[in-house]
Amino acid sequence: MAVEPSDDHERLPCGTSADTLLDHLRAGTVTDHERTCPHCRAAAEEFRPLLSALGAALDDDRQVTAPPGLLDDVMSVVRAEGRSRSTIRLPRTGGDGAPGDTRVRHSAVSAMLRARVDPAGGLLLGRCRIEETSEGLVVAATARVLTGTVIPEATASARRDMSTFVEDRLGLRVARIDIDVTDVIDLP
Amino acid sequence: MHTDTALPESVLVERAQDGDDHAFEALVRRHQDTVYRIALRTLGDAAEARDTAQEALITAWRRLPDLRDPQAFPAWLHRMVGRLALNALRARRPEDPAEEDHSELRERGAGPVDRALATDLHEALRAALAGLPPPQRICWVLREMEGLGYEEIAEIVDTTPTAVRGRIHRARTHLVEALEPWR
């Protein structure tokens, strides 16, 4: 938490800040001074109903949940809007059939690429951006590694899985796959 | 995709930033209760709180690419709903410039009859909160009920941390007085 401003609107005659006293009362960490000082004790007595009410309100709050349907309403707007409408055009294979282009949205390609990287390999992909260049597809991903993962092995394996996918399933060339490891994590 | 709910939050945030709506859905599932609660506490009205929560979550999706630190997602989202709730409060009484931090008390949504009916402390607190000027109410709610720091609150309500501290102090003084009969 950020450093709080030092000017205090509310100091008791003994110099204790009302904020601090309240925090201690709430956390059950009252100091010896606060326990014995008449000013602190009087203030604590004054705050008692508010603290009880706050406790009751927080207890009730825990029962408050978002109304049913909120998630669906939000997600239907989100899905209708999508994020990026950019697409990549897949090369045509074979000469049969009616003419026509096949385009896949970047967000769909990113999702498929992420899904190719099995977390069991110790790497979790976050951001995964793609760009088409004359040399082929450039993938820029961020990743978290699970504790104990050998990073060069995990990233090499992820690159392999993603390249195979791009080449075999999309029929595109891969120019490069950059993986930026941003953190080491433990899975819950 | 089915494992999204088990992924660390920062991974979900980055995926959602890339346009992965499944990842965003997992984030909404995690945070919708808190978002709704902040709106409800601030506005005191379930229908308005639902609208505000929905607007906050959709705005979050739209602005997500601008979020630089994925770890900051919850605080960023709370700021968003806090700000929208405050705007909704202000819009409710256009004749009353809610920016003005009047310290006199107003009866709002909880008249004397409601007070008389307030049979327990929580009800009394609710009534007392409803009587606070909106800027004081939102500062107090964000501080005491959502545990935000002065700096964060200042950003939401567009003022200085010192002003936030002053509002919380005035709100607390009012609430302590309003709850005096329970001492």
For B13-37, the pLDDT digits (tens) are 999 998 888 999 999 999 999 999 9
Name which CATH class applies to B1-92: mainly alpha
Is ipTM beyond 0.95?
no
Identity (one letter) of the amino acid at B99? E
Both structure tokens of A19: 């904020």
For A117-153, the pLDDT digits (tens) are 988 889 999 999 999 999 999 999 999 999 999 999 9
Distance from C-alpha of B53 to C-alpha of B61, rounded to nearest angstrom:
13
**Looking at the complex, does the CB of residue A134 fall below 8 Å from at least one CB of chain B?**
no
Go through A120-141 and write b for each residue having 16 or more CB atoms within 10 A of its CB, e for each that does not: ebbbbbbbbbbebeeeebebeb
DSSP letter (8 states) at residue B36: H
> Looking at A11-20, A65-74, A147-156, which range is the least confident one?
A11-20
CATH of B100-183, one of 1.10.3720.10, 2.60.40.10, 3.40.50.2020, 1.10.10.10: 1.10.10.10
DSSP letter (8 states) at residue B146: T
pLDDT reading at B1 higher than 80 = no
Distance from C-alpha of A18 to C-alpha of A34, rounded to nearest angstrom:
11
By C-alpha distance, the chain A residue nearest B62 is: A83
> Please, which residues 73-102 of chain B have a Cβ atom closer than 8 Å to chain A?
none
Q: Can you give the residue ranges of every domain in chain B?
A: 1-92, 100-183
> Please, which residues 13-52 of chain A have a Cβ atom closer than 8 Å to chain B?
18, 45-50, 52
Distance from CA of B95 to the nearest CA of A (A): 30
B1-92 and B100-183 share one fold: no
The confidence band for B156, taking pLDDT boundaries of 50, 70 and 90, is confident
Cα dihedral B137, B140, B141, B145, rounded to 10, equals -160
Instruction: Map out the domains of chain A with their CATH numbers.
Output: 18-61 (no CATH), 104-185 (3.30.70.1350)
